[in-house]
Amino acid sequence: MNYKSLITLLSELSGKSERAAREDVAHTISAITELLASGKKITIPGLGTFSTKEVEERQMYSPHHDEYIIAAPKRSVEFSPSTQLKEKLKDVRPADE
């Protein structure tokens, strides 16, 4: 499902205009992004938990360049789906788009 059809469905479900739905999604995204950027952990019921994880710098081997590198430390987004969502989607075999 792409972003456009998501917005269309959302506006149908809520009775809002597509534009309003788009704005609402944008606000939600920016709020979540900002919270994640400040290192917070956000749980959305029915969907899952967004959190951040810090990876220390580490020594690794790059097979492409055939050299040993010290990979830069980073902080990345982690998502763990809620149990409800996992249970619901466990046995679904979606037809590929």
Task: Tell me how far CA of residue 12 lies from CA of 7, 8, 29, 68, in angstroms.
Answer: 9, 6, 20, 54
95 touching another protein, by CB under 8 A: yes
A 10 A CB-CB count for 21 gives 20
Beta bridge partners of 62: 67
CB of 94 to another protein, least distance (A): 4
Site for another protein in 12-51 (CB under 8 A): 13-14, 23-37, 39-48, 50-51
Tell me the C-alpha distance between 46 and 52, whole Å: 19
CB of 1 to another protein, least distance (A): 3
Site for another protein in 61-80 (CB under 8 A): 61, 63, 65-77, 79
CB–CB of 53/35 below 8 Å?
no
DSSP structural state of residue 73: P
Judged by CB under 8 A, the number of residues near another protein is 71
CB of 8 to another protein, least distance (A): 10
CB of 17 to another protein, least distance (A): 13
